[in-house]
């Protein structure tokens, strides 16, 4: 099963900068997950498709669709739990 974590961010977003190191650590631990960054200023169509209204927004999805959605800075433990759920 393909699991993806979409990180919707903007260069001007302070909380997004806080989220980055958390995601970088997770990416090292989760080889089986595709981590994708989506700059909402450059990819507004994708942000609209996922109905992103606040930043950062993190979406965990698998072949069945969206498994979890987080708005605001999210801790590694919460994201890891969502990745576990999506991988099951």
Token pair in block for residue 14: 């302070």
List pLDDT tens digits, range 77-88.
999 999 999 999
3-state secondary structure the chain: CCEEEEEEECCCCHHHHHHHHHHHHHHHHCCCEEEEEEECCCCHHHHHHCCCCCCCEEEEEECCEEEEEEECCCCHHHHHHHHHHHHC
List pLDDT tens digits, range 43-76.
999 999 999 999 999 999 999 999 999 999 999 9
Annotated active-site residue 13? The verdict is: yes
pTM of the model as a whole:
0.96
Annotated active-site residue 16? The verdict is: yes
The active-site residue, picked from 4, 10, 13, 35, is 13
Domain chopping of the chain, boundaries: 3-87
Pick the CATH number of 3-87 from 3.30.70.2740, 3.40.30.10, 3.50.50.60, 3.30.870.10: 3.40.30.10
The active-site residue, picked from 5, 16, 55, 83, is 16
């Amino acid at each position: 099963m393909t699991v993806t974590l979409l990180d919707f961010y903007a260069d001007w977003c302070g909380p997004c900068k806080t989220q980055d190191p958390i995601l970088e650590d997770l990416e090292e631990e989760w080889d089986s997950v595709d981590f994708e960054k989506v700059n909402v200023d450059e990819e507004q169509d994708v942000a609209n498709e996922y109905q992103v209204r606040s930043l950062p927004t993190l979406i965990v999805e698998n072949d069945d669709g969206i498994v979890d959605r987080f708005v605001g800075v999210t801790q590694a433990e919460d994201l890891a739990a969502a990745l576990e759920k999506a991988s099951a």
